A and B are shown apart, each in its own frame.
Chain A
Amino acid sequence: MKPNARMSSLLPPLLPLFVSMGVFELAVRFGWVPSYLIPAPSEVFRSLIDDRLELATAAWTTLSSALVGLLLSFTAGTLFAIALSSSDLARRAFYPYAVFFQTVPIIAIAPLLVIWFGFGQPTVIASAAIVSVFPIIASTLLGLKSTEPALIDLFNLYSATAKQMLYMLKIPFALPQIFSGLRIASGLAVVGAIVGEFIGGGGLGSVVDSARTQQRIDRVFAAVLISALLGVVLVGAVNFVSALTLGSWHTSERKSS
């Protein structure tokens, strides 16, 4: 992409950002909005610079908790989905509970997690894992169930074993769905980690919590901004791995030539 073309593709999303930041800046400066409700963007920016060390440490803590939680939910969710896909009876027996489990709000069970895992990172990791596991189960299951029937016939024709069917056909075929589940899960893992930190302590969650009690709304905004960035980074990392894995064959990743 030429520099000019890059500019023109970045301009549409950046323009509303700059305009709205300008509007908020003016609104606060002229006193139309009290600064204890909405901080001036320049204040948030200053907080980002002044508290950079504390924010960076907190962000790292949150990111590592979210990553470990995601790894746990990915491992458990994928294994669970494979188990469910291999037997119709198992799917009918257990899948409804997976759906039901997903509807329980994490904020309601977070206090339970503290009782079980104590204050600190284990609670945060558990929270991130619980929130992110369902999309992985659902999309992996969907992917494993959507193998082209003719390809299953082909494997049966040559008396493929269940293991060959799974590793050589069903799992590779499900990869696009597995990645799209992982994409949703990675955003949710950050949310789960921060909710966990509200209660279990540490990371950006407690930065937000303590800044709120100190009425430092600029710091709240700075921490929120960084937590959103963490989500973007994780989703971007999944996109990158997905492009590397599927790039050579799958239509969703193939460059139009």
Chain B
Amino acid sequence: MNSNLHPGQSKSGAAVLCEEISRAFAGTGLVLDHISFQIQPGEFVALLGPSGSGKSSLLRLTAGLDRADEGRLAIDARQGAVSRGFVFQEPTLIPWRNVLRNTTLPLELQGWKIDRAKPRAEEELRRVRLADFAVRYPHELSGGMKMRTSVARALITRPNLLLLDEPFAALDEPTRHALQQQLREIWSALGMTVLFVTHSISEAVFLADRVIVLSQRPARIILDSAINLPTARAEALRTSLNYVEEIRRILAVIPNPAANT
């Protein structure tokens, strides 16, 4: 999988080591059942699984928003401190802050002066193609624009680990496709490690260089495989035979829910 990395890419990505992680919740019981995997610096990994399989729980653990009951989770930035960016399922923008000030929020929380944070925010907004909407408020934006703001906010701390929790699930298909491609481009340009949670096989295959497939709850890893597609992912890929072949390969390991009903 390292063959997919761009030159110099691994420099700005963090490595993730997840060893025998288990997590149970009151009410739902065991959600994660001894999960182990390793992510190399600069890898783009999709975490695929059915709804309620615990993939979001795993992502929250990785983000440091929750603690595992058992196991070891280590994140190692080769250079400098670990910095995480998180894109939630919903855009989770602050309604009384405009696009620019929503984007500067993480830096403000870390004590940056707003004058110093603004140029950085403008740069990230250009990256997600929202530069012209900096003074708009969340309620004036479309769903896709809100999500792009949320991505810009996650990028502003220059994270070496970007975590995304089904960020495009609520968007219409053309918007979702456009954002998938933009995310892939952003990753190519910045080279951080990406962990992308989704329940869509086609999304996982289009975006990632490697997929980790979780079973139904309690989640175990049922497949951990590289995606054999070129590094550059263009729109045309979606109708290519190789793409369909990769989807078919992953579908084959996933139990068909219709068989149980």
Name the A residues within 8 Å of B110 (CB-CB). Answer: 158-159
**Chain B: minimal CB distance from A124 (Å):** 37
Given A159-B109, A160-B109, also A154-B137 (CB < 8 A): no
Interface string of A230-252 (1 = CB under 8 A from B): 00000000000000000011110
Which of chain A's residues have a CB closer than 8 A to the CB of B84?
157
Q: State the Cβ distance, A67 to closest chain B Cβ, in Å.
A: 27
Chain B residues whose CB sits within 8 angstroms of the CB of A164 once the complex forms: 109
A148, A158, A250: the one contacting B106 at CB < 8 Å is A158
Q: Closest approach, in angstroms, between the C-beta of A161 and any C-beta of chain B?
A: 8
Q: Which residue of A lies closest to B137 (CB)?
A: A249
**B30 CB–A CB distance under 8 Å:** no
Could you give, for residues 48-60 of chain B, a 1 whenever the CB lies within 8 Å of some chain A CB and a 0 otherwise?
Answer: 0000000000001
Flag if A151 contacts B92 (CB, 8 Å).
yes
CA distance A249 to B88 in the complex (A): 21
CA of A150 to CA of B65, assembled, Å: 11
Secondary structure call for the A interface = helix
Known: A154-B86, A157-B63. A148 touches B109 (CB 8 A): no
Write out the residue numbers on chain B whose beta carbons fall within 8 Å of the beta carbon of A151: 92, 94
Instruction: Report the Cα distance A18→B14, complex, angstroms.
Output: 76
Known: A158-B110, A159-B109. A150 touches B88 (CB 8 A): yes
CA distance A249 to B96 in the complex (A): 5
Q: Is B90 interfacial (CB-CB < 8 Å)?
A: yes
B65 touching A153, Cβ below 8 Å: yes
B6 at the interface (CB under 8 A from A): no
- Asked if A111 is at the interface of the complex by the 8 Å CB criterion, the answer is no
Contact: B109 with A155, CB < 8 Å?
yes
With a CB–CB cut-off of 8 A, which chain A residues contact B95?
A: 249-250
A158 surroundings in chain B (CB, below 8 A): 105-106, 109-110, 157
Interface residues of A in 151-190 (CB under 8 A from B): 151, 153-160, 164, 168-169, 172
Q: Does any Cβ of B come within 8 Å of A29's Cβ?
A: no
| Chain A 122-158 residues near chain B, CB threshold 8 A | 148, 150-151, 153-158
Q: Kindly report which residue of chain B lies nearest to residue A151, judged by CB atoms.
A: B92
How many angstroms from the CA of A248 to the CA of B65 in the assembled complex? 31
Q: Is B139 part of the contact surface with A, judged by Cβ < 8 Å? A: yes
- Interface membership of B8, Cβ < 8 A: no
Contacts of B14-34 to chain A: CB distance below 8 A = none
> Number of contacting residues on A, CB 8 A?
20
Q: Name which residue of chain B comes closest to A246, CB basis.
A: B96
Q: In whole angstroms, how far apart are the Cα atoms of A248 and B138 in the complex?
A: 11
Chain A residues lying within 8 Å of B230, measured Cβ to Cβ, are none
Asked if A254 lies at the interface with its beta carbon under 8 angstroms from chain B, I say yes
B65, A157: Cβ atoms under 8 Å? yes
| Complex interface: chain A residues within 8 A of B86 (CB) | 153-154, 157
Known interface pairs A153-B65, A154-B86, A157-B84; A148-B92 also in contact (CB < 8 Å): yes
Whose C-beta in chain B lies nearest to the C-beta of A169? B94
Q: Which of A158, A160, A172, A254 neighbours the largest number of chain B CB atoms within 10 Å of its CB?
A: A158
List B103-125 residues whose CB lies under 8 Å from chain A.
105-106, 108-110
Residues facing A in B54-73 (CB within 8 A) are 60, 63-65
Asked whether A153 and B139 contact (CB < 8 A) given A158-B106, A172-B96, A250-B95, the answer is no
A151 to B95, CA, bound (A): 11
Check B139 against A154 for contact (C-beta < 8 Å).
no
Partner of A150, one of B64, B90, B137, B157: B90
Q: How far is the CB of B164 from chain A (nearest CB, A)?
A: 13
Max chain A C-beta neighbours (<10 A), residue from B64, B108, B109, B157 = B109
Q: How far is the CB of B41 from chain A (nearest CB, A)?
A: 21
Q: Which residues of B contact A150 (CB under 8 A)?
A: 88-90, 92
Interface of B toward A, CB cutoff 8 Å: 60, 63-65, 84, 86, 88-90, 92, 94-96, 105-106, 108-110, 137-139, 157
- Given contacts A156-B65, A157-B84, A250-B96, could you give 20 more A-B pairs where the C-beta distance is less than 8 Å? A148-B92, A150-B89, A150-B92, A153-B86, A153-B92, A154-B86, A154-B105, A157-B106, A158-B106, A158-B109, A158-B110, A158-B157, A164-B109, A168-B108, A168-B109, A169-B94, A172-B96, A248-B96, A250-B95, A251-B139
* 22 A-B pairs with C-beta separation under 8 A: A150-B88, A150-B89, A150-B90, A150-B92, A151-B92, A153-B86, A153-B92, A154-B86, A156-B65, A157-B64, A157-B86, A158-B106, A158-B110, A158-B157, A159-B109, A160-B109, A164-B109, A168-B109, A169-B94, A248-B96, A250-B96, A254-B139
Please give me the 5 A-B residue pairs with the lowest Cβ-Cβ distance, nearest first: A249-B96, A158-B109, A150-B92, A249-B95, A158-B106
